Amino acid sequence: MYGKQSAVGAPGVAEAAAVSPHEAGRALSYSMDARDDRRGQYAWGMFEFARTPYIGLIFVFVFAPYFANTVVGDPVRGQEIWGLANTVAGVFIGLTAPLLGAIADRMGRRKPWLIAIVIVMTIGCCALWFAMPGAKGGLSVMHIAVIAAILTISFEYSQVFHNAMLSAIAHRRDIGWLSGYGVAAGNIGNLLAMAVVLFCAALPASGAVDIPFLPDAPLFGLDPSTYQHSRIAGPVSGLWVALFTAPLLLWTYDVPATGVRAGRAVKEGMEQLWATVKQARKLSNIGRFLVARMLYNDGQVAILAYSGIIAAGVFKWDLTALILFSILLSPFSIAGGFIGGWLDKAIGSKRAILFSVMLSCFFMIGAASMTPRHVYFVFNVDSAQPLWSFPYFGTLPELLFILNYMALAVTVTIVFCASRAMMVKLSPPEMMSQFFGLYAVSGTATAFLGHGLVTAVTAASHNQQAGFSSIILLLLAGAVLLVRVREAPADMIVSPEG
C-alpha cells in the first residue's frame, strides 16, 4: 500500500495518494511551501506553550504533592498511588498509541485529533478542582487517580499528533532548532502559568512575605482553609491548554484529509502495524532507538514527576516553596531547549542525547543525596541555622538540591528535544504518525518500569529517596543501548502487502 520512501522530510505523499494526481501534486506543493512558513512553525511551538503547564501545575509541582500530602495524607502512600495511576496509563498507551498513529496516517489530518484531546484535557483538569482535602466531600482517591491516568494518556496522545506534524512544517535542517524552540516555548508557558498561581493564590495564602504589589488574600475569593489555592491548579491548567491551542489550529499547516473512512482506517492501520512488525529486522535501527529511549526517557520523566513529591516529603516544602522551586528551574529548562537545538545541530542528535543522559545521572545522584541533615549522603549539616532571612530555601541541603535540579532542568530538556529531532530523522515520512505512536510508547509504555520501579522501591524501603534513586538504572540502561543506534534515516517503507 505504501511505495518506496520519498525524500526525507517530504510530507503528504501517502495522504495525497488517495486523491487525484492533480490534487496530490497541489497538496505536496502546499506542503513544501509550509516548510518555509515561519508563522506556522512558531504556532506549532505555541502548542507546547499551551500544554506544558499541565506538567508543572498537575503532574509535578502543585497538584501531585497536594494529592500525596493532603488528599491521601501520607507522602509515601500518595507517591505509590500516583505511581500506580501512571503505570496503568503507560500500559494503556503502549497498547493503543501505535495503532492510533497508524489510523491517523491513513486518515491524514492531525488537528481534529488534537482538538478532541484538548477537550478531554480541559474537562479533566477542571475536574481536579473537586479533589478535596482528605478526599472528603469531593472526588475519592480512586476517582482522582483515574482522572490522573486519563490526563496522562491524553497528554501523550497529544504528543503523537503534534510531533507527527513536525516533518510537514520544517525542512530536515530546521527540525533540531524547531524541536528545541517548542520545548523552550513550553517551559516559558509553564513559567508564566506557575507565576500566575504563585502571585494570585499561593503567596497571598502563605502570608510569609510582604511584597507591596502582592494581594492581601488569594484572588477570586479562594479559601486556603479548603486548599482552594492548591486546587485552582486544575482549572488554570485546563483553561490554559484550551486558550493557547488556538494559534496552532489557525496557522499551522496540516496534511490534507485522505477521504479514508474510520472503519477502513482502523483495518488498514492494523495491517500496517502488522507489516511493520513482520519487517522489524529491516527497521531494527529505529527499533534500537525506541528501546533505548524507552529506558532513558522513563528515567527523565520520573526525575520530573517525582521532584515535587520528593521536595515536599523530604524538605516539607509547602505550596509556595514548590511553585518558587518550579519558577527557579524554568529559566534553565528554557535555556535547555535552545541549547538542545544548538547541540543537536553541532554534534548530532545521538551525541547530544548521550552527553546529556550521563550528566543527568551525575546530577541525579547529587539531588537524591540531600536531606535536611545531610548533604551528599555523608556530610552532616546543622539545619537549624538558616543561611539567610528569606523564609524559603534557607538551608544548605535545600540550596544544593535546587542547584542539582537546575542542572537537571538543562540536561533533561536537551534530551527531550534531541530525541524528538532524532525520531523525525529516522522515521519514514509516510508513516510519521505511526512511528510517533511508537515513539509515545517508548516514552510512556514503560511507565510500569519507571513509575513501577519507584513505587516498588519506595514501598520496600519506606524511603522516598531510595525509590527516587532507582531511576538512575533506567538512565544508564538507555544510554548503553543508544550507543549501537546509527543516526541515519530508514532505508525502506514497509507495506501491508509486504
What would the pLDDT profile of 423-461 be if each residue is shown by its tens digit?
888 877 766 666 776 676 665 555 556 666 777 777 787
Determine, yes or no, domain membership for 6.
no
Closest of 255, 241, 8, 219 to residue 111, by C-alpha: 255
pTM of the entire predicted model:
0.74
Kindly report which listed range (185-189, 326-330, 494-498) carries the lowest average pLDDT score. 494-498
* Orientation angle between helical segments 447-461 and 75-107, nearest 10 degrees: 170
What is the domain count for the chain? 1
Give the pLDDT of residue 80. Answer: 81
Amino acid at 3: G
| CATH number of 66's domain | 1.20.1250.20
In a domain, 492, yes or no: no
Does residue 257 surpass a pLDDT of 70? yes
The predicted pLDDT at position 74 comes to 87
Which of 10-19, 222-231, 257-266, 316-325 has the highest mean predicted lDDT (pLDDT)? 222-231
359, 475 in Cβ contact below 8 A? Answer: no
- Computed on alpha carbons and rounded to an integer, the radius of gyration of the chain in Å comes to 23
* Residue 10 maps to a domain: no
Is residue 12 a part of any domain in this protein? Answer: no
For the chain, report the end-to-end CA distance as a whole number of angstroms.
Answer: 9
Which distant-in-sequence residues (6+ apart) come within 8 Å of 236 by Cβ?
A: 53, 57, 193, 196, 197
Return the pLDDT at 223: 93
Q: Do the beta carbons of residue 258 and residue 107 sit within 8 Å?
A: yes
pLDDT reported for residue 282: 60
Please enumerate in sequence order all residues whose Cβ is within 8 A of that of 258, keeping only pairs 6 or more positions apart, or say none. 14, 15, 17, 18, 19, 106, 107, 108
pLDDT reading at 172 higher than 90: no
Is 233's pLDDT higher than 90?
yes
- Which of 232-241, 251-260, 291-300 bottoms out in mean pLDDT, i.e. has the lowest? 291-300
Whether residue 11 is contained in a domain is answered as no
Residue 212 grid coordinates? 507591596
- For 335-351, give one letter per residue: b (16+ CB within 10 A) or e: bbbbbbbebbbeebbbe
Does residue 476 belong to any structural domain of this protein?
yes
Which domain covers residue 470, as residue numbers?
19-482
C-alpha cell at 320: 509556595
Could you tell me the pLDDT band of residue 28, with boundaries at 50, 70 and 90?
A: very low
Residue scoring higher pLDDT (186 or 271): 186
pLDDT at 384: 60
Q: Contact 409/152 with Cβ under 8 angstroms?
A: no
CA 24 distance to own-chain centroid: 35
Tell me, what's the pLDDT at 41?
A: 94
Residue 253's SS3 state is: coil
Per-residue pLDDT, 492: 44
Grid cell digits, residue 378: 555523608
Examine residue 490 and state whether it is found in any structural domain, yes or no: no
Question: Angle, to 10 degrees, between the axis of helix 38-51 and the axis of helix 233-244?
Answer: 170
Asked if residue 257 is part of any domain, the answer here is yes
| HSE-CB of 434 using CA atoms within 13 angstroms | 29
Residue 173 has pLDDT above 60, yes or no: yes
